[in-house]
Structures are given as structure tokens and as C-alpha cells.
């Protein structure tokens, strides 16, 4: 997951820094799911600690961590994960809910 439109062509994970747009460079979570839609793990697209910032990702087991297709046909991904900085330090905690609205 990364948002190239929000970041004016720069690849990374978008965040807000106060009211300003910003992003985490060298970080884009990849969610791995089982056949039931349970998120089983998350990794960093740019490498697990092997990128220039030493960033990796790990799943927070306290989250819903599930992809769901609802009775009305809508689809949601609820996930809680952590961006880990070089040296194994938990840097940022994310709690996200993604709702599928249609094809791009």
C-alpha cells in the first residue's frame, strides 16, 4: 500500500505532520491474508529492515486484522500494524479501516 497520487509522485506511506502532508519514505505495508480473510502478517514492500531507513512492519495482534465482504457487497479491511524503525524500535502505530468503493 502506497499512495502515489497523494504524494505527488513520491512513493511511501502518507501521513499528516500537523496540517501538512508528509510521508514515511521506504515504507509501504504489504498485508498477507489467509483464505478466510484474516490478516496473518504484514511486511514492508521495501524490505524488512534492509532499506535505507532500516524500516520494517509487524502486525499488532490487538487489531481486528480482517478483510470482510459484507452482506450488502461492500468490502472492508481493518488492520492494526506497527512501523518498526532501525534497531527494532516501534516508531509508529497504525489503526486503519479501508472501504472498497469501486474500481479506479
Element (H or E) spanning 75, and its range? strand 75-85
Residue/partner pairs of 70-78 with CB below 8 Å, 24 or more apart: 74/99, 74/100, 75/99, 75/100, 76/100, 77/31, 77/39
Q: What's the whole-number mean pLDDT along residues 63-84?
A: 94
Residue 101 and residue 104: Cα distance in Å, rounded? 9
* pLDDT at residue 1 tops 60: no
Query: Strands 75-85 and 66-69, how do they pair?
Result: antiparallel
Report the Cα 79 to chain-centroid distance in Å. Answer: 8
Looking at 23-32, 50-59, 88-97, which range is the least confident one? 23-32
**Looking at the DSSP assignment, which residues form a beta bridge with residue 30?**
43
Query: Which helix (H) or strand (E) element contains residue 94?
Result: strand 89-100
Residue 102 pLDDT: 76
pLDDT of residue 50: 93
Query: Whole-number mean pLDDT of the chain?
Result: 88
User: How high is the pLDDT of residue 16?
Assistant: 83
- Read off the pLDDT band of 25 (50, 70, 90): confident
Predicted pLDDT of residue 39: 98
Amino acid at each position: 500500500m502506497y499512495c502515489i497520487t497523494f504524494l505527488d509522485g513520491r512513493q511511501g506511506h502518507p501521513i499528516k505532520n500537523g496540517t501538512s502532508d508528509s510521508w514515511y519514505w521506504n515504507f509501504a505495508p504489504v498485508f498477507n491474508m489467509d483464505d478466510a480473510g484474516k490478516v496473518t502478517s504484514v511486511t514492508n514492500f521495501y524490505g524488512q529492515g534492509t532499506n535505507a531507513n532500516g524500516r520494517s512492519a509487524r502486525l499488532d495482534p490487538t487489531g481486528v486484522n480482517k478483510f470482510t465482504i459484507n452482506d450488502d457487497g461492500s468490502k472492508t479491511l481493518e488492520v492494526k500494524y506497527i512501523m518498526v524503525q532501525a534497531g527494532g524500535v516501534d516508531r509508529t502505530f497504525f489503526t486503519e479501516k479501508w472501504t472498497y468503493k469501486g474500481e479506479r
